[in-house]
Amino acid sequence: MRNIKRILTILFIAVAVLMDTSCTQKPELKALIVTGQNNHNWQSSHIFLNSILKKSGIFTVDTKISPKKGKDMSGFVVDFTPYDVIVLDYNGDEWPEQTKTNFVNYVKNGGGVVVYHAADNAFPDWPEYNEIIGLGGWYGRNESSGPYVYIADGKVVRDNSPGQGGSHGAQHEFLIEALQPNHPILKGLPEKWLHAKDELYSELRGPAKNMEILAYAYADKKYKGDGRNEPMLMTIRYGKGRVFHTAMGHCGGGLFAPAMEGAGFVVTLQRGAEWAATGKVTQKVPAYFPTETKSLTWEFFEDIDHDLTSVINRMKNYDIGKSYDCFNILKKLVSENTGNSEKLKQYNTIILDLLKSDDTSIECKKILCKDFSWMANDSYRTVYDMLKKNPELADEAQYALDRMGN
């Protein structure tokens, strides 16, 4: 009798685990961000990269943070094999030999790599790294690193002229133009779009072996650019590996990074990462994208102005320890639209529906009672009264009623 009970218990638990009541697709691909030293604000950029990858819905993300500059790196041994894609946010001290070997083998054997912005500044003296990234800049790179590669008259030019590798003018918004609009990473996106204010990386040079330029940007001299069409998005094949290189996405000392919040940067990074991991891109093209004349910024790295389904879902399933950004998004939308009765109506409906639904988590309802009661209208009162009857929510519902006042 005991054994039957035990079996039934196990079966019950197994069934409960299989029944995913939230009905969300579980992310399939594993990404690793490597960071910890950089001539940019890596403390922020790796967090933003993490968000961008997670928001695609197809990645779980780990982060490996190196020791500080100048400190003992011997313990920084990384096993890349568990991951589908490595996102590089590092330039600084040399990695231990084992890590370097692991990395090269990982890529050679079919691994995926995303080279993000100043990761192409790293390791000028490590030949395999420079083959993997295709092009690089700064830290002594010159004609011995390989040719300049840029676009002239619609064709890719390899230029072995002597000179330093890597430069950029003043930050500005610049036009991205597709050279290969049908490549999986770019397919379906507009062929020309205005990127957010960013550093326009120019005069990169490197081996550029098995490298394809997907898109470029004109480095206008009025911003102290070199007057050339410089590669912005590239792919490189190294052994069986796939490398996606984006030159965009400067992250400076401020608290937020407008360049990384550029919708075009976000979407191409997500698509580039998926391509690097699998060779295919399954992500849908977003309905809203920057145009040729107008850039588009996604403060939360997603299109919250037009599509709240993902945000609502995250609120619905919120639990302590999970991402809190869904509530910050709603707060921002509310504060920006208090004068817009139609939008406010939409947000009130969202909040009230969440409060009334049995599928909404208790922790979500607590936060809604606490942080959104200042904006409550009369239809909230009955909902709060109802929630008060639930002992788990009585305190928070009372808070909301107190806030509403009489």
Partner 1 sequence: MQTKRRQFLKRIGTATVGLSLFPTIVKASALGRGGHVAPSDRITMILIGSGSQGRSDLNNFLNLNNVQPIAVCDIDDSQAAKAKKMIDNKMGNNDCRVYKDFREILEKEKPDTALLALPDHWHSLIACAVANKKIDIYGEKPMARSIVEGRAIVNAVERNNIIWQTGSWQRSVNNFRQAAELTRNGRIGKIDYVEVGLPNGGINIGNPPVQPVPEGVDWDMWLGPAPKVPFRGVLHWDWRWMMDYSGGQMTDWAGHHIDIAHWGLGFDHTGPISIEGTGRPNNDGIFNVPVEYDFICEYANGLKIRVANASKLKHGMGTVWNGSDGWIHVGRGKLEASDENILKEKIGKNEIQLYKSTNHWKNFIDCVVSRKETIAPAETGHRSISVALLGEIAMITGEKLHWDPVNEKFTDNNVYATRLLKKPYRAPWKYPA
Please pick, from the candidates 154, 162, 339, 391, the single residue that binds partner 1 as defined by CB under 8 A: 339
Judged by CB under 8 A, the stretch of 79-87, 218-226, 382-390, 396-404 that binds partner 1 is 396-404
Determine phi and psi for 232, rounding to 5 degrees.
Answer: -115, -40
Question: Does 300 engage in binding with partner 1 (CB under 8 A)?
Answer: yes
Judged by CB under 8 A, the stretch of 129-137, 139-147, 223-231, 336-344 that binds partner 1 is 336-344
Minimum distance of partner 1 from residue 32's CB (angstroms)? 18
Is residue 257 within 8 A of residue 48, CB to CB? The reply is: yes
Question: Does 47 engage in binding with partner 1 (CB under 8 A)?
Answer: yes
Q: Is 268 exposed, middle or buried (0-12, 13-18, 19+ CB in 10 A)?
A: buried
- Give the residue with the Cβ less far from partner 1, 54 or 228: 54
Minimum distance of partner 1 from residue 332's CB (angstroms)? 8
Q: Which residue has the tokens 């920006």?
A: 336
- Give the residue with the Cβ less far from partner 1, 47 or 65: 47
Question: Does 317 engage in binding with partner 1 (CB under 8 A)?
Answer: no
Q: Where are the alpha helices (DSSP H) in 219-308?
A: 258-261, 263-278
Is residue 251 within 8 A of residue 257, CB to CB? The reply is: yes
Q: Report the C-alpha gap between 284 and 183 in whole angstroms.
A: 14
- Give the residue with the Cβ less far from partner 1, 310 or 337: 337
Please pick, from the candidates 72, 292, 392, 395, the single residue that binds partner 1 as defined by CB under 8 A: 395
Question: Does 392 engage in binding with partner 1 (CB under 8 A)?
Answer: no
Which 236-255 positions form the footprint of partner 1 (CB under 8 A)? 253-255
Minimum distance of partner 1 from residue 335's CB (angstroms)? 3
Please pick, from the candidates 20, 299, 305, 385, the single residue that binds partner 1 as defined by CB under 8 A: 299
Q: Is 224 exposed, middle or buried (0-12, 13-18, 19+ CB in 10 A)?
A: middle
Question: Does 398 engage in binding with partner 1 (CB under 8 A)?
Answer: yes
Is residue 317 within 8 A of residue 298, CB to CB? The reply is: no
3-class DSSP state for residue 167?
strand
Question: Does 390 engage in binding with partner 1 (CB under 8 A)?
Answer: no
Please name which of 324, 318, 322 lies closest in space to residue 357, comparing C-alpha atoms: 318
Minimum distance of partner 1 from residue 323's CB (angstroms)? 5
Instruction: Collect all residues with Cβ–Cβ distance below 8 Å to 172 and sequence separation of at least 6.
Output: 197, 198, 200, 220, 223
Contact set with partner 1 (CB under 8 A) = 47, 51, 253-256, 299-301, 320-325, 328, 331-332, 334-339, 370-371, 373-375, 395-396, 398-399, 402-405
